[in-house]
Amino acid sequence: MHVRPVERAVLYILIALGVFLPLIFPFDRWPNLPTPEVEAVYNTIENLQSGDTIMVAVDFDPSSEPELYPMLLAVMRHAFSKDLYVLGVCLFNPAGAGLGMTAFTTVGDEFGKVNGTDYVFLGYKPNMVAVVRGMNQNIGRMFTVDAFGRSTRGMPIIQRTPRLRGGIKYLVDLAAGETVRPWVAYGSTPGGYPMGAGCTAVSFADYFSFYQSGQINGLMGGLKAAAEYEELVHMKGAASAGMNSQSIVHVLLVIFILLGNFLYVQSKLAERRPKGEAR
Amino acid sequence: MTFMRRQLPIIIAFVLGVFTFIIFFIPSAASQEAGLTLDSWVAIISAFAMVLGINSILGQHIERVGKRRPGYGYSWVLILSFVAMTIAWIPWWRAPELGAPVTSYYPWGGLENTTGVFSWMFFNMMVPMQATVFSILAFYIASAAYRSFRAKSSQALVLLVAAVLVMLGRVPLGTSLTGWISPESTFAWLRLENITGWLLNVPNAAGFRGIVLGVGLGIIATSVRIIFGIEKTYMGGGD
């Protein structure tokens, strides 16, 4: 069906208003109940002991930043509030390294953590499969320097956790692309550590089968999951603020679909009607 | 020269392919060390592939500008952005140690210099622009939902109903529509989040599992073909 320019303009204006108005005039109307798959990630981190180490993979770039960056901040805040050591890496896109560096230092500073001792962000390296396999055996060999260009040799957190296998208690992969699969196949399964994942809403359905099979023990999909995690850690942020917009836009999309189908059925009925009757 | 171009790559692929396959199943320290060395090599070679990629994209856009092809103005934007970010990234002066106070303005260097030009360009230009491009999808989806998502057949109707339920079941406003049904009642399965969960957990997971298994088998088959020299398209040329 052809959409007239006026119709398209109305659709776009409604979507824009649906996004902007709840952000300009925030309200707390609809409860965002945590789903079991998000609670699973939260509970795994919650049940770790102070002093345990986890790995957070920042496998997204700025195009997925609105959905996954709030998720990253929420997970980091939870980990640091539990006094966990956190290793960070980016194996998806070099642009993701900048986001990881900012998130780690921002949340690290919030909790008074020391870069290189309590956490480290190792930065980006190409060829994910080789890097994951290598990190399972020796992190310092795969990353001789961290994202800030400092040598990892003698870095306290790398001395505490020289390899992922047997070194970390949990891995969270925040993925914009096809990184969960290699982490499962070459990281968590041979390394013997549990893994959870976060992804964009679009990828949520793709990764659900991994959650169902138990290859990942938790799954956070899109902004909604980020908002749920913020609720769980009692630190509301950008994700919670965006949920009203997302709710309204989803309902608008449903209305557009129903309206489009209503017009479609109407046009089909008009085609079937005898011409004289139509007049 | 044919040996260097045709036979040698196949020999290297065969030897390293079989070697990597074997050491994967041998848990001894020596084989693990060999595997780690190979992984380091692969990471280094992949970095060179990025250089080839940069060369390719720049070459294409320089050619487009040179021949004044339609849209060559956008190619100028790409070339100038690339040059500007590369110059800004080069660490002309030594960066202060991490955590040390920045006593003087120091504009060059990568993201480690949070007050530098590169960092400013990354966070104030690249991040918002990429996020904006992705966000524009919402408008296209709205237009497509209105224009194209039609129940023209029974299969399309099933897809449409599933899509509407999942879209509503994945947002708080949607789940609040059926929030009045008690989670303990017999009809709790009618709550939107439960219907969405079932759709994702049963039909969706079944479909995707089939796809994943197919992809896995495809990867194995292609790997075997490459190792044994049957698949040669990765060498390019086609001659």
Is residue B100's pLDDT more than 80?
no
pLDDT in tens, B42-99: 888 888 888 899 999 999 999 999 999 999 999 999 999 999 999 988 877 665 565 5
What part of A 48-107 touches B (C-beta under 8 Å)?
61-66, 95, 97-99, 101-102
Bigger pLDDT: A2 or A50?
Answer: A50
Segment B157-182 shows an average pLDDT of 88
In A14-60, beta strands by DSSP E: 53-59
Domain ranges of chain A: 5-27+251-278, 36-236
| Cβ atoms of residues A136 and A191 within 8 Å | yes
Q: List the single residue in B with minimal CA-CA distance to A264.
A: B150
What is the ipTM score, two decimals?
0.80
Report residue A41's pLDDT band, with 50, 70 and 90 as the boundaries: very high
Contact list, B142 vs chain A (CB under 8 Å) = 11-12, 14-15, 249, 252-253, 256
pLDDT-wise least confident of A75-84, A259-268, B102-111: B102-111
Contact list, A250 vs chain B (CB under 8 Å) = 167-168, 170-171, 173-174
As a whole number of angstroms, the longest Cα–Cα distance in chain A is 89
pTM score, two decimals? 0.86
Question: Under an 8 A CB cutoff, do B193 and A35 touch?
Answer: yes
Bigger pLDDT: B5 or B13?
Answer: B13
Segment B136-154 shows an average pLDDT of 86
Segment A164-192 shows an average pLDDT of 94
Which DSSP state fits A130? H
Tokens of residue B218, six digits: 């495809």
CB count in 10 Å sphere of residue B104 = 6
pLDDT in tens, A205-260: 888 889 988 999 999 999 999 999 999 999 888 898 888 898 899 999 999 999 98
Question: In this structure, what is the dihedral angle of CA atoms B23, B28, B31, B34, given to the nearest 10 degrees?
Answer: 140
Q: What is the CATH number of domain A36-236?
A: 3.40.50.620
Mean pLDDT for all residues in chain B: 86
Report residue B239's pLDDT band, with 50, 70 and 90 as the boundaries: very low
